[in-house]
Amino acid sequence: MSKIDIYLTIDDVIELTGYSKQTLANWRSKKEMFPFYKLGRRIVYKRSELISIIENGKVEVNQKEINNGFL
């Protein structure tokens, strides 16, 4: 079975990431952060790419701090 990519609108990306419409527009104009696709005048983002970028930014936490009640 082939995997079908899900494409997200700008509003979907705002909901997923919490970034503002203006921030996403700034990144698009600079070609930074998230890759995007143009379908005519419509802008979409591939969900799998966004998730991968977000997960690659993961910062590991010290388990000791969790156990000491810091988190």
pLDDT per residue rounded down to tens, the chain (71 residues): 457 899 999 999 999 999 999 999 999 999 999 999 999 999 999 999 999 999 999 888 777 756 666 55
Alpha-carbon distance 22 to 8, whole Å?
A: 17
Contact partners, residue 21, CB within 8 Å, separation at least 6: 10, 14
Q: How many residues does the chain have?
A: 71
What pLDDT is recorded for position 19?
Answer: 97
Alpha-carbon distance 42 to 59, whole Å?
A: 33
Task: For residue 65, report the phi and psi dihedrals to the nearest 5 degrees.
Answer: -65, -35
What pLDDT is recorded for position 66?
Answer: 60
